[in-house]
A and B are shown apart, each in its own frame.
Chain A
Amino acid sequence: QKEVEQNSGPLSVPEGAIASLNCTYSDRGSQSFFWYRQYSGKSPELIMFIYSNGDKEDGRFTAQLNKASQYVSLLIRDSQPSDSATYLCAVNPPYGGSQGNLIFGKGTKLSVKP
């Protein structure tokens, strides 16, 4: 059973702080990893993706991947109240005839307090 695990939270941080969101996955052969943001009642919105070990930065967001530990994280710098949402980690498994379906974690709810 391929699993993606996330702490459900809520994670509460003050405005301007760094929010750190974590995710582990069970399939060691997984190749690509995605972070989506989902506001309540809305659809998932792609924030960023990472394929290689190490860090990848995009604006206030940094994704970190450690394949040996099967761990991926998302850092949000200078957190804003508008960042308050549920953050979904998704993994693209190594099998499949298409580009591959995504396996999602349950998400971590982030609350940024003004």
Chain B
Amino acid sequence: EPEVTQTPSHQVTQMGQEVILRCVPISNHLYFYWYRQILGQKVEFLVSFYNNEISEKSEIFDDQFSVERPDGSNFTLKIRSTKLEDSAMYFCASEGVANYEQYFGPGTRLTVT
């Protein structure tokens, strides 16, 4: 069964450093999302991406964040200058056309020290 994959599974970085989180969505899906979940809290929407551009973004997704689909398979989230409060699980999700079902990847645990 097709699945969303994410790398790395765990990333430790120092405050102020740039990180890139990578996702490979399900191959025939066209809508892509990033969510985050701070430990013990709810899953929060960050950004959605369709047709090579951002469709929606939340208040969390400020100028420090960017997304890119550099090729036909990868979807990346970049955090330019990490803060302690960016420590969270980051989930990528993808969705097919007209089925409204978002499937989540296993997540990347980001730890900012």
Contact = CB atoms under 8 A, between A and B. Distances in A.
Contacts of B43: 44, 88, 90, 102, 104
A5 B11 CA distance: 31
A98 B55 contact: yes
Interface residues of A, number: 24
Nearest to A38: B43
B45 A99 contact: no
Size bracket of the B interface: 20 to 34
A98 B100 CA distance: 10
Q: Which A-B residue pairs are the 8 nearest by beta carbons?
A: A98-B55, A101-B45, A104-B43, A43-B104, A98-B48, A97-B55, A106-B42, A43-B107
A42 interface: yes
Contacts of A34: 101-102
A101 B48 contact: yes
Given A96-B55, A97-B56, A44 B91 contact: yes
A49 B100 contact: yes
Given A99-B31, A101-B56, A46 B101 contact: yes
Contact of B102 (A46, A97, A105): A46
